[in-house]
Amino acid sequence: MKGVAVGRVDGKVVLITGVARGQGRAHALRLAEEGADIVGVDVLEDFATNDYAMSTQADLDETVRLVEKLDRRIVVRKADVRDLQSLKTAVDGAVAELGGRLDAVIAQAGICPLANSDAQAFLDAVTVDFNGVVNAVDAALPHLVDGGSVIATGSVAGLITGATDNPKTGAGGLGYSFAKRSVAAFVNDLAIALAPRMIRANAIHPTNCNTNMLNSDIMYRQFRPDLENPTREDALVAFPAMNAMPVGYVEPEDIAAMGLFLVSDESRYVTGMQMRVDAGAYIRNRPQQPAF
């Protein structure tokens, strides 16, 4: 109808893991603003190896409220991305409520158990941050339409050396780095496998992002090891050291803007890409190449 605005993802249905807060909520709201309905999953449980608290039922309820305030539909389920069968059951039921199809999946549930020397921290980071991505794609694939989109959240820390792959970050940091490197590799080859169906697969790699993960005591200590009990104010002066641009972090909404592009038909021929939303962190920290 003439004069009626149509959103960039109008009528699409998108699965988002880790939807209760942070980047997951930002993705849900940005997509809903542009006309999408949401299938959301979150675990709503803490991890013994992870220093900061995970999302709560109240967080998830708030995401639902905010999406519905935008006059879009959202169906949420409690599920652990490490448990493929449980995740499939949750996704199958929620997708059925919204008509039985998916146009995209954003696999972004994650933890960052830095400074934990327990081997379990390594395994928790890998099984959530990498296996959880694979499981989300596995659960979504039976419902994904041809021409759909798969988006995985990596991290610029997985693309450079000397960040979380530093042994000083503990077994949890090593697991986080391994998982995020693996996400990048997974997307490269997944894009080839999905290409015959015109389904594209891409990763988004943020730098520091203004979420609970960054705003945690353990992260403050990573950025200010010179202080015994650094505060957020102490860490703020160190956050920009990661980036080429003079900013300490990006916002979840900056990541969601890239997610919107990758869900939309504007990216219909964009696949196998490592999309960095990193304020220049990669170019600042990448190994120098010889000049020829």
Q: How far is it, in rounded angstroms, from Cα 23 to Cα 20?
A: 9
Q: Which one, of 50, 70, 275, 272, lies nearest residue 171 by Cα?
A: 50
CA distances from 192 to 134, 141, 186, 204 (A): 15, 15, 10, 18
Tokens standing for 243? 């980036």
Instruction: Give the number of residues written for the chain.
Output: 292
Inter-residue contact 154 to 107 (CB < 8 Å): no
DSSP for residue 244: S
Number of H helices and E strands in the chain, helices first, is 10, 7
| DSSP-assigned letters across all residues of 2-62 | TT----TTTT-EEEEESTTSHHHHHHHHHHHHTT-EEEEEE-----TT-SS----HHHHHH
- Quote the tokens at residue 123: 């395994």
| Catalytic-labelled residue, pool 52, 176, 249, 282 | 176
Contact (Cβ atoms closer than 8 angstroms) between residue 13 and residue 103: yes
DSSP 238: T
> Would you say 86 and 44 are in contact if contact means Cβ atoms under 8 Å apart?
no
Q: Is there a catalytic annotation at residue 176?
A: yes
Q: Tell me which residue has tokens 């997944």.
A: 190
Give the burial class of 268: count Cβ atoms within 10 A of its Cβ; 0-12 exposed, 13-18 middle, 19 or more buried.
exposed
Annotated catalytic residues are 176
